[in-house]
């Protein structure tokens, strides 16, 4: 029976991993670079889910400035 190793990262962690590859900060292409890096290491993306929400409001009012989602990515690879 095959055994698996799992890893779950959030969007920010993927972007940080990609920044090591691209040498750039805070660019969307870092997510792709992070996914490609994990693929090179044998990780396969098996799931994506939203783990919660955060509402950002302005300091002086109740107006919503933005809403962030905590997106998680789950990967697996054969356990060696």
| Residue 79, CA distances (Å) to 16, 17, 39 in order | 25, 22, 15
CA distance to 45, 65, 75, per residue, from 39 (Å): 8, 35, 9
Give the chain's domain count.
Answer: 1
pTM for this model (two decimals): 0.74
Report the alpha-carbon distance of residue 50 to residue 68 in Å, rounded: 10
Query: 33: closest CA among 15, 48, 45?
Result: 15
pLDDT range class, residue 64, cuts 50, 70, 90: low
Residue bearing the bigger pLDDT, 66 or 23: 23
Do residues 73 and 47 make contact, with C-beta atoms less than 8 angstroms apart? yes
Q: Which domain holds residue 25?
A: 4-78
What tens digit of pLDDT does each residue of 46-63 get?
Answer: 999 988 777 766 766 666
Q: How far is residue 72's CA from residue 33's CA, in Å, rounded to a whole number?
A: 16
């Amino acid at each position: 029976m095959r055994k698996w190793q799992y890893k779950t990262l959030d969007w920010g962690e993927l972007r940080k991993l990609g920044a090591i590859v691209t040498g750039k900060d805070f660019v969307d292409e870092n997510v792709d670079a992070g996914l490609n890096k994990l693929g090179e290491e044998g990780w396969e993306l098996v799931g994506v889910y939203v783990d919660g929400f955060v509402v950002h409001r302005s300091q002086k009012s109740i107006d919503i400035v933005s809403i962030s989602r905590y997106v998680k990515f789950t990967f697996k690879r054969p356990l060696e």
